[in-house]
Copies of this chain bind each other. A is one copy, B any other.
Amino acid sequence: MTTSTLPMLENYPQAISLDRIQLAATIDILDDCAEACTACADACLSEPDVAALVRCIRTNLDCADVCATTARVLSRHTGYDATIGRAMLQACVIACSACAHECGLHAEMHEHCGICADACRSCEQACRDLLAAMD
C-alpha cells in the first residue's frame, strides 16, 4: 500500500532538519518492523516447539515496542530536540540487531522468523543510516 507517511511529512508546516523522503521511508520501515515482530511473537506462540522459542518471543515483544516508540518520536518535529530521536534510534539498532539474530536462528524451521529477521535487518540499517544523516 501507499502510506500517508510521506504526504504527511511534506505537509508539515515548518522546517525539518532531515531529508523528508529518507525520514518517511525510515518511519515506514519502523512501523513494518513493529508489525512483523508483533506477528512473529504470536506465530511463535502457536508453534509446537514453543518452548524452544521463548527467547525469540521475548525479543520480538521488546523490538515491537522499541520500533513503535521510535517511529512515534521520529514522527514529531515540533520543538525538535535531536537527542531523544538519536537515543531512540540507538536503542532501536540494538533491539533490531538482537531480534534479527534470534529470529535468524529459527529461520530455517519457521518461515515467519525468516521474514521477521529480514524486517529487523532492514530496520536496523535504516536506523543506522538515519543516525549517520543526523550527524
Contact = CB atoms under 8 A, between A and B. Distances in A.
Contacts of A125: none
Interface string A85-119: 00110110011001000100000001110011011
Interface of A: 1, 3-5, 7-9, 11-14, 25, 27-29, 31-36, 38-43, 45-47, 50-51, 54-59, 61-62, 65-66, 68-69, 71-73, 75-79, 81, 83-84, 87-88, 90-91, 94-95, 98, 102, 110-112, 115-116, 118-119
Contacts of A14: 46
Contacts of A73: 62, 65-66
A71 to B, nearest CB: 7
B61 A76 contact: yes
A110 B11 CA distance: 8
Main secondary structure of the interface of A (DSSP, over half): helix
Nearest to A95: B84
Given A1-B32, A29-B1, A78 B46 contact: yes
B42 A77 contact: yes
- Ranked nearest first, the 5 interchain pairs of A and B with the lowest CB-CB distance are A55-B79, A87-B91, A8-B39, A4-B36, A11-B112
